[in-house]
Structure 1
Amino acid sequence: MNQEITRPQHPHLDRAFTVLLSPTRRGTRLARLLTVAHLGAWGLPSEAEKAAHIVAELAANATVHGRVKGRDFQLVLTVGGGTLRIEVTDTRGDSVPPGPGAVKPPEDDAETGRGLLIVEALASHWGIVPGPVPRKTVWAEIDLVR
């Protein structure tokens, strides 16, 4: 169920891509690769690396913390109004991460726990939207440089 909407009369504006992916390492990798490919096709290759890191972290969290057997996670990329918006929706609305400003660094020797810190560092804004039940969406926005 890939869906892309493009309005060519406004380059770099009003574009959207949505895809459902399996909550696996392969799905996470595919989310990152699709992000880079679409941003390149949309004429935004300079934002692709930053966006790929954000997508990788959010998709990994959806796979590890938001996984429900038999249910996919959704990746949505939209560009409009000078902003790239990334949304990852999973089906574990009961497993909500700490929000912006509330993410604590892990212990120095911890092997995990840095994903949302990376998102917070790279994104202009980010947050969490609950629902509809049983879902939640973690989103991040990158202000596009003109």
Structure 2
Amino acid sequence: MRDALEGWGLRACADDAALVAGELASNAVCHGRAAARNAGHARLGLACQDGTLVCAVSDLSPEVPVLRPADEFLERGRGMRIIDALSSSWGWSRPTRRGKTVWAVIPVLRP
């Protein structure tokens, strides 16, 4: 992923993009596992268009992401808060029998 971002001249936002991609992928594997009969299949895609970077992860789960209230005592459940903080917008495709795609638009910082 970092090689692609560097090739696109987006090295400055690579850390944020890697964190967002990691959180999206982690959520997909965690929540998509039951739908994939414990296989945890997920696909990551990146696109750089019109001055924006879009990171998207598809999984087989029909469950949509939820931005939970902050709770400092929970060990889990902060992934979507991190994605929300580092992206200019995020959302998901309507779930079908083939799952869904969760995406985030990451601000492009050019040198």
1:60-83 deviation digits (Å, cap 9, x = unpaired): 001111122346211110001011
Aligned to 1:36: 2
TM-score between the two structures when normalised by the length of structure 2: 0.86
Unaligned runs of 5+ in 1: 1-34
Unaligned runs of 5+ in 2: none
Question: Of the candidates 3, 12, 34, which is equivalent to residue 46 of structure 1?
Answer: 12
1:2-21 deviation digits (Å, cap 9, x = unpaired): xxxxxxxxxxxxxxxxxxxx
Q: Is the 8 A contact 1:87 1:139 kept in 2?
A: yes
Aligned to 1:77: 46
| CA distance in 1 between partners of 2:70 and 2:77 (Å) | 6
Q: Is the 8 A contact 1:73 1:88 kept in 2?
A: yes
Question: Of the candidates 42, 60, 65, which is equivalent to residue 97 of structure 1?
Answer: 65
1:1-146 correspondence runs (5 A): 35-67=1-33, 68=36, 69-70=38-39, 72-93=41-62, 95-98=63-66, 103-146=67-110
| CA distance in 2 between partners of 1:107 and 1:123 (Å) | 21
1:3-49 deviation digits (Å, cap 9, x = unpaired): xxxxxxxxxxxxxxxxxxxxxxxxxxxxxxxx222111222110100
Q: Which amino acid aligns with 1:38?
A: A
* CA-based RMSD: 1.6
Aligned pairs, how many? 107
1:60-109 deviation digits (Å, cap 9, x = unpaired): 0011111223462111100010110010000011x2222xxxx2234321
Identity of aligned residues (%): 39
Distance change (3 Å), C-alpha of 1:111 and 1:70: closer
TM-score between the two structures when normalised by the length of structure 1: 0.67
The one of the two structures with greater contact order (alpha-carbon pairs below 8 A, sep at least 6) is 2
1:98-128 deviation digits (Å, cap 9, x = unpaired): 2xxxx22343211001000000000011001
Q: Which amino acid aligns with 2:87?
A: A
